[in-house]
Structure formats: structure tokens, C-alpha cells
Amino acid sequence: MTNSMTLAYRVVDLREDANKAGDIIIEGARTPEDAAREALGLRLIRSGSKRDLAARVYWQHSGQPLNMVRLYTKVTDR
């Protein structure tokens, strides 16, 4: 990234058994998946069934709209 600004990701833990302490802000991650792994300690993927939804990750580049991706646990991780 040529921009000197560090991109911050906001990770929202959606797991039923999660400690709902609030959103977790991660700075410097390369991808939403990396941010979720750092925040939650899980390897999540971008596709899955509704019951496997684990997190939403938000980020925004300067002057751009807010982005969001839903991340899911792998079926083998259930």
C-alpha cells in the first residue's frame, strides 16, 4: 500500500458463545481475514452457511465508502 496511513479493521464477533465485550479494532492487518485471526484467534473464510457466520469485518479507505465482509468458520472447524 502506498498510503502511509495504517488501515484499521473493526471486527464484530458474531459467535453465540462469544464474550460480547464490543468490537475489536485491529490496525495493520493485510486482509479482513488476517484482522479476524488476530482479533478472535480463528481462521475464517468468506463463504459459508448462515449457521457458521462468525464475524463481520469493516474497514474504510480514505475518501471511500465503508466496506464490510462476513466471515465464516470452516465446516471442519465446527
Provide the residue type at 25 as one letter: I
- Confidence tier at 2 by pLDDT (50, 70, 90): very low
Question: Mean per-residue pLDDT for 5-32?
Answer: 88
- pLDDT over threshold 90, residue 18: no
- pLDDT over threshold 60, residue 4: no
Q: Is the pTM of this model over 0.75?
A: yes
Beta strands in the chain (DSSP E): 8-13, 24-27, 53-59, 67-72
The grid cell for 24 is 475489536
The grid cell for 76 is 471442519
- Confidence tier at 34 by pLDDT (50, 70, 90): very high
- What is d(CA 7, CA 60) in angstroms, rounded to the nearest whole number? 8
The grid cell for 46 is 468468506
